[in-house]
Structure 1
Amino acid sequence: AVYGPREVHPRHLQEVTRAIVRYRYNMASFSVEERKRPGPDRRSYELSKVSREALEPVILTSFFPRSVIDVFVEVLQADAGTRTAGINAASVALADAGIPMKSMISSCAAGKVGGTIVLDPMKEEDNFGQADLPIAMTPNGDITLMQMDGNLSKEEFRQAVEMAMKGARDIYELQRRALVEKYSQISAAPGQEGVHLCE
């Protein structure tokens, strides 16, 4: 969910020249097999911070001084890749909410499982793999997030980055298609004024 731009409370958090972006990542207690304690923990604070930093460079915050844009990501079923899925969903939600952005952000991860580099590791691969490398990027290849857990050789790292970037580009096409399809249906509805989207 995306709310804003709206007034910042408390007011001392306001920035005179731009909007602030707040990103809240939360996993529901029933989203994992062993129920987690409800509410934020150290991991959710970390993922909120890095996800906000991945999206913030493309949001035109200078358009909305003294305002806040709130992004809420609620994970209902965790099967690995929740950070990248949250960033992808948040990027589409920001565009759908009409927040001015330079471009979309797309995110994907690569990992090392059994000595092999794989794309978008699932839960078992993530739990028992040797490395995990999530990235987020713009359509033209500017990376806004890169993290790595585990160990990769120089060649494995290069291969993992290339694979994750290819995955992110494929996801960008899906994000774009979802927005185009939604607004194409709105423009085709009877009694609605046409909505023109650039191809």
Structure 2
Amino acid sequence: MYKQRLDGRKGDELRPMEAKTKVIPNAQGSASFKIGKTWAIAAVYGPREIYPKFLANPKRGILRCYYNMMPFSGSGERIRPGSNRRSQEIAMVMTKALEPVVDLSQYPNSVVDVFVELPQTDAGTRCAAISAAAMALADAGIPMKDLVSSVAVGMADDKIIADLTYKEEHIYEFNPESLNAVVSDIPLAMIHNTKELTLLQMDGEITKEDLLKALELGQKAIEKVYAVQVKALKENFIEESK
């Protein structure tokens, strides 16, 4: 069904994944999530009093996410230090993807801050950030209905594929034979139990038929991400129970 890709993977094959919790001792919760060369580290602080005060919600707490790619973190152009429009947009996307599973009704007038740093990247950064952040929230003991897992699917070199790399997102630069190929990148995030999508974005072009195939592939790929997240959380629980 799937042709071999630039890095030798099958179309439905994800890059190797690693996940662990308790990576930042001073945070209420923390997690690391790696997929291929993309590495996200998340730290949770809170619930704590929110400033400025006018942001407070007397009925429930507020979730705030922050996203930052370190300079020289990976493929493409050098990343400038500090916040920028792209990092602010992805932080908002992360917040929207995670809010449906987080129950902050116990923490009125409070905020839970999630900081994600990416020291190394090779595409799929927002997806890795969401997966790491969900684990960090669980590690912090924040009430959650379920985990959110995230991965990108899309089309490159006329193939529907999961977990695109930077080279696949820029296939024209790395494969001269692909000058006429349609490229699309579709980041997804899903709640495991309900199969509800909390993130669906698209960059590029794709037909309706191929989009449906990509979404089906994405659901299967997300299950693999979820399994890695759960394994890491269980290993930490077993270690703490000793």
Superposition TM-score, scaled by structure 1 size: 0.92
Larger mean Cα displacement after TM superposition, 25-34 or 170-179: 25-34
Match of 1:133 among 160, 163, 186: 186
Match of 1:59 among 102, 108, 114: 102
Match of 2:225 among 159, 171, 182: 171
1-side partners of 2:132 and 2:167: how far apart? 23
- Aligned partner of 1:30 in structure 2 is 72
- Structure 1 unaligned runs (5+)? 189-199
2-side partners of 1:57 and 1:177: how far apart? 22
- Aligned partner of 2:158 in structure 1 is 115
Tell me whether 1:46 sits opposite 2:89 in the alignment: yes
2-side partners of 1:110 and 1:51: how far apart? 17
CA RMSD of aligned residues (A): 1.0
- Structure 2 unaligned runs (5+)? 1-42, 172-181
2-side partners of 1:176 and 1:110: how far apart? 22
**Relative to total residues, which structure has the larger helix share, 1 or 2?**
1
Give, in angstroms, the shift of residue 32 of structure 1: 3.0
Contact 1:109 1:120 survives alignment (8 Å): yes
2-side partners of 1:56 and 1:127: how far apart? 32
Return the letter of the residue paired with 1:138: I
- Aligned partner of 2:63 in structure 1 is 21
Tell me whether 1:182 sits opposite 2:236 in the alignment: yes
Length, aligned pairs only: 188
Give, in angstroms, the shift of residue 104 of structure 1: 0.5
Contact 1:28 1:74 survives alignment (8 Å): yes
Give, in angstroms, the shift of residue 18 of structure 1: 0.7
Give, in angstroms, the shift of residue 184 of structure 1: 0.6
2-side partners of 1:6 and 1:183: how far apart? 24
1-side partners of 2:125 and 2:100: how far apart? 21
2-side partners of 1:37 and 1:86: how far apart? 19
2-side partners of 1:181 and 1:154: how far apart? 41
Superposition TM-score, scaled by structure 2 size: 0.76
Give, in angstroms, the shift of residue 80 of structure 1: 0.3
Contact 1:26 1:74 survives alignment (8 Å): yes
1-side partners of 2:150 and 2:222: how far apart? 5
